[in-house]
Structure 1
């Protein structure tokens, strides 16, 4: 049940976000062999001038500063190898779909411990 939360400044006006999200979900699913039903992705647009990096603010998403920020939430039972595969897939899929340099994508992982997640009406127990 990886949860992927993406944040960026506004992207190109002619970008079809529905298509991008579907391509990310299906592509990551294929790359790492996780069913799409197990993946959750969201994308939040950061308001113009609400993101500062290296002392500079930006109105729209630049390709060489202000990295796209990605938080990857995964259960602690997922192997390190699988979490790394998810990160690589996600970075390369984002780069491809957005025509964006992978070097300006920042992904960080947070592990979710058993009994520290509430889902499907109950506390999740992965033990």
Structure 2
């Protein structure tokens, strides 16, 4: 596991191939972390136009430099601070390369997942720390 959930406003400048972006991000994470791709989950949701306020302003489409893309990274708590930082940087770099967004306009939040706190593949997952 990691689980990566991405939210943004719809893009207007160009068609963004979200499935291709997610596949690229999945491949990059798998290669960097040596986590098999079947353990990596990614989603991308669009925030409805006008439903995202940043700096007091609601907009209808994803700007390049405001209204950061919102990313949640959920990964096991056995990852070191360096591993987490590497994943955060990898996500930001990959998104900035793949979509029309400035790297400094990406917000990523890490949430640790704990042993016995994840249900996957038909069972509660337990890992050694």
TM range (shorter): over 0.9
Matched pairs, number: 127
* TM score, norm. by length of structure 1: 0.93
Over the aligned positions, Cα root-mean-square deviation in angstroms equals: 1.3
Gaps of 5+ in 1: none
Output the TM-score relative to the length of structure 2. 0.92
| Range 72-81 or range 39-48, more displaced | 72-81
Distance in 2, Cα, partners of 1:124 & 1:34? 16
Q: What pairs up with 1:38-77 in 2 under 5 angstroms? A: 38-77=39-78
- Given that 1:7 and 1:45 are in contact with CA atoms closer than 8 Å, whether structure 2 keeps it comes out as yes
Gaps of 5+ in 2: none
**Contact 2:64 2:100 survives alignment (8 Å):** no
Aligned counterpart, 1:120 = 121
Give how far 1:35 is off: 2.2
The answer to whether the 8 A contact 1:75-1:111 is kept is yes
Give the match's secondary structure for 1:7: strand
For residues 24 and 11 of structure 1, the distance between their equivalents in structure 2, rounded to whole angstroms, comes to 18
CA distance in 2, matches of 1:88, 1:79: 14
Deviation larger for 73-82 or 25-34: 25-34
Runs of 4+, deviation exceeding 6 Å: none
